[in-house]
A and B are shown apart, each in its own frame.
Chain A
């Protein structure tokens, strides 16, 4: 039987407000443990939370960017459970009246656009972090409350995703939107973007849902995709074997590449949600919503269309470049200096992104400023350097932080376009390879490539490739 997966994602993103959700402590990541704390976020007896207006503002921006309906009236609730990283042993969250509902975002997988529903967007507070210290008798644990009370948005999708690739595309799009809005850093490795997945499978064509599991502990886009692929296969294998999928919470084990049961249905928590009596309900008036809507920045889809319309870029190129606000900004700055947009996009999508990824850098952290990349492209266009050398120079620019012209000069990489000088080298290559020359004359076209390669080698790549071809053909 053929199966299809049904996937819904619950995404948590830390908002980059200056202060925490319910107190004035800093939200900065990576401080000394327990230095960004106060009686309120430590949950000491007698304290009360006060909502940070910026949290609501960021929530509104996100909700509107995701095409949601903002509730004119929403409230906070307490989610009760015991865990030592949660000082009050309840989390302030939103339950039955969230900030916003009923939105969507568009994804594009293999050239096919799909609209994915957003069930709800709500505000809540983050928990602290446990640090386990090994020792005799199992060791002990320490708690760092710096993250406690940092504002989170939970964004829940409809079960509209049908493959791990779509789930990944959804996450990437969501991340792009959040970054365009400048509401979150979206660093999965630092935990500022987290994702749980609800997954089930069903025979293709079926309209009813299968029993779902919830998969947690996926700390990268790659982990999300791998975990979903594994979990879907696992569920299919159970059904194929005549078994039944048990409702459970699963944890993705990155090192072993498997999902394992964390909690069964019987062990599920009863969170005993009830309205948070320490906070008054939020009334968000139309004027506030409209102001936020007016101030929304250009979002990935609009920017993608703009790149296509303005520069005639193919949809694929525009999609890649606008997948990150910083990357799109980078593109815009290079194009302003070097107006051949397709050449710029080829370089950015190719070597530039490859070098960034190799260094694990975000586009905003590129060591090569846009002006320097434009210079490099100009050098190539002027014929000062060859395309092949240009790639080397870009690598050197990433490694040393030096400018393109400086590297070309220091390393003597200027292209050799002097017919006399190059002719001499061509003659030497032909003399040294009589057999290859013979092959070419006998109709072996490929032999020409070998000879070009030999000339390039002799000039350490600096020969003007067009001129080399021309000179070789003249002599042959």
Chain B
């Protein structure tokens, strides 16, 4: 397999055996980006020179015999809502098109400490609001499996880059499915860790009670390695859990014998493409074949998750995005007074989907509507959490489709926000309950990847990884790569 299509741990082995240098691997990836990103359009900002410098530094450390972790010298890239000191962080918005953070997000700092080589920043739906990356204010990213299709979103660039060989892994953020849905569309592994497992410090907030940073990788082993590098308590994030970080790699045993897996019927309902449902059911059968005990179950409040999410998330977003006012950083469009300056700046700075959600959220929090909308949504959220709690009394894991469909065509849903929102039907309840979940490739429909979602108990990422690893080791889907031949 081509160098750029290896997994991170495969590359790491080559680096450790000194069969290749990090500088060579980085240069190869930079070439690959040059070759394909004109078509994929995953990157917003490239930091090639900086990456080569970081690679040489890791090579020098390795030559000195320094003890290096598995990610040292492995080139990666970041969704553009993760703050990087000295490198612009745009959130794919005009509002922050030229904004250069003066600090690193905690996950970025941790990866730098692990010797990561950063290739650049990746496209996304503006402020992580969307499911196709078409809401980027710069350009849409394309699905490496079919350039006429979307990569999913909002972490579309982060997923497409990994799928297209433009980075060994990336970090995305997931508020309602923004890592898992695109991972499913592009045939890679994407995990949303438990809320609180990974520090959010330096992640530009969309909906604070739902946002979580997670790894996007080519296989489950890489997922474990990256999660281990970024997870853990951060005194800068009060919502990060003060719990030890397990050695996730050691949980990678290809065993699911006796594991109890619930299959909630609500996740196979209307709107599901029959072939996607069939592929996911076959994957579940595969787990059963491997020794897991699978049975159908019910999460009765599932249908209310989406409407409740579209109150909670926009409400928090309306407040989180209030700071983009043109006063001290980011875009400023002048006006005759401060009110007009606010209006001009926000009118030009934000795209239509962001405005829609700010308006929805502002309305939901307004005096006289708060109880009927926001408070009600919080109650629904509690019911959804209880559904999961009840299920996890019986099951170790839940298995569902990641998304009801395979990747759709560019423009297909762009004019219909509700249709777009339904793409996250299976992922949203997980964020509402704060649970860990991952999507892994489990088959192909019409030549496009399909994802299996596994959902776990709070902080049971190791169980997720183990089951995913067992499935992966008995299948070949994770070895498939998109063709993306020379255009």
| CB–CB A43/B208 < 8 A | no
| CB–CB A272/B209 < 8 A | no
For the complex formed, measure the closest distance between the CB of A13 and the CB atoms of chain B, giving whole angstroms. 24
Q: How many residues of A contact B (CB 8 A)?
A: 29
Stretch at the interface among A54-62, A274-282, A304-312, A388-396: A274-282
A89 at the interface (CB under 8 A from B): yes
- Among B101, B209, B319, max chain A CB count under 10 A is at B319
B245 at the interface (CB under 8 A from A): no
For the complex formed, measure the closest distance between the CB of A85 and the CB atoms of chain B, giving whole angstroms. 9
8 Å CB contact of A279 from B203, B204, B238 = B238
Q: Give the A-B pair count, Cβ closer than 8 A.
A: 96
With A278-B238, A278-B239 in contact, is A48–B102 under 8 Å at CB? no
| CB–CB A44/B102 < 8 A | yes
Residues 186-204 of B, flagged 1 when their CB comes within 8 A of A and 0 if not, give 0000000000000011111
With A88-B323, A274-B315, A280-B239 in contact, is A45–B208 under 8 Å at CB? no
| CB–CB A89/B83 < 8 A | no
B83: chain A residues within 8 A (beta carbon)? 45-46
For the complex formed, measure the closest distance between the CB of A20 and the CB atoms of chain B, giving whole angstroms. 14
Stretch at the interface among B144-152, B295-303, B360-368: B360-368
The docked-state distance in angstroms from the alpha carbon of A277 to that of B315 is 11
For the complex formed, measure the closest distance between the CB of A21 and the CB atoms of chain B, giving whole angstroms. 13
| CB–CB A50/B315 < 8 A | no
B374 at the interface (CB under 8 A from A): yes
B96: chain A residues within 8 A (beta carbon)? 45
B89: chain A residues within 8 A (beta carbon)? 45-46
Q: Does more than half of chain B's interface fall in helix, strand or loop, or is it mixed?
A: loop
B11 at the interface (CB under 8 A from A): no
| CB–CB B102/A82 < 8 A | no
With A87-B323, A277-B209 in contact, is A272–B362 under 8 Å at CB? yes
| CB–CB A87/B238 < 8 A | no
B323: chain A residues within 8 A (beta carbon)? 43, 45, 87-89
| CB–CB B239/A82 < 8 A | no
A87: chain B residues within 8 A (beta carbon)? 323, 327-328
| CB–CB B342/A49 < 8 A | no
With A46-B201, A48-B238, A277-B209 in contact, is A78–B319 under 8 Å at CB? yes
B374: chain A residues within 8 A (beta carbon)? 274
| CB–CB B201/A47 < 8 A | yes
Residues 47-74 of A, flagged 1 when their CB comes within 8 A of B and 0 if not, give 1111100000000000000000000000
A84: chain B residues within 8 A (beta carbon)? 325, 327, 338
Give A contacts to B, CB under 8 Å. Answer: 39, 42-51, 78, 80, 82, 84, 87-90, 141, 143, 270, 272-274, 277-280
Contacts A/B (CB < 8 Å), 19 sampled: A43-B323, A45-B89, A46-B83, A46-B89, A46-B204, A47-B201, A48-B201, A48-B237, A49-B238, A50-B236, A50-B238, A51-B238, A80-B365, A84-B327, A88-B322, A89-B325, A270-B367, A274-B316, A277-B208
- What 3 pairs between A and B have smallest CB-CB spacing? A89-B322, A277-B208, A272-B365
Give B contacts to A, CB under 8 Å. Answer: 81-83, 89, 91, 96, 99, 101-103, 105, 200-205, 207-209, 235-239, 315-316, 318-319, 322-323, 325, 327-329, 338, 342, 362, 365-367, 370, 374
